[in-house]
Amino acid sequence: MNWRKPFAATVWMFLYSTLSDCGRSTLRPIFWIVVANVGAFFIYAQLADNKVTEALWNLTFANLLPFGTLAKPLAEHAATELFHGGVLPPSVGLTAIFQGIVNAVLVFLLALALRNHFKVK
């Protein structure tokens, strides 16, 4: 028997239900966006050489969305304050990529919940 397909479907449905109440809740994606970014803040704090709270928040907000270069100067300024020589280590880059992917998924789930709420077709 192929158990992978039902198992994968169960995992995806569990995540969909937990993160967005199957598209019925706008509060769950907002809650998880806040939790994910506060978690990213603490990960950046662990990775930083200098613990400057304002610069950590700037780095977190600069990586909030996975697209766009509007926050690039903010991230560069935060990098110079947090890391020696202003060079971001690879672990920070991986954290930023993961943060962007998670935020993109959660923004999609938020948009889906708003679409379902207003029944836009």
The tokens describing 86, both together, are 């202003």
State the Cα–Cα distance between residues 121 and 115, nearest whole angstrom: 8
Q: What is the pLDDT of residues 99-110, one digit of tens each?
A: 989 999 999 889
Question: The tokens 């995806």 sit on which residue?
Answer: 12
pLDDT (0 to 100) of residue 45: 94
Q: What is the pLDDT of residues 77-119, one digit of tens each?
A: 888 899 988 888 999 989 998 998 999 999 988 988 888 888 7
Question: The tokens 């962007």 sit on which residue?
Answer: 100
DSSP for 75-113, written as a single string: HHHHHHHHSGGGPPPHHHHHHHHHHHHHHHHHHHHHHHH
pLDDT (0 to 100) of residue 3: 85
The tokens describing 88, both together, are 């971001």
Q: What is the pLDDT of residues 38-63, one digit of tens each?
A: 999 999 999 999 889 999 998 898 88
Q: What's the mean pLDDT when you consider all of the chain?
A: 87
pTM: 0.83
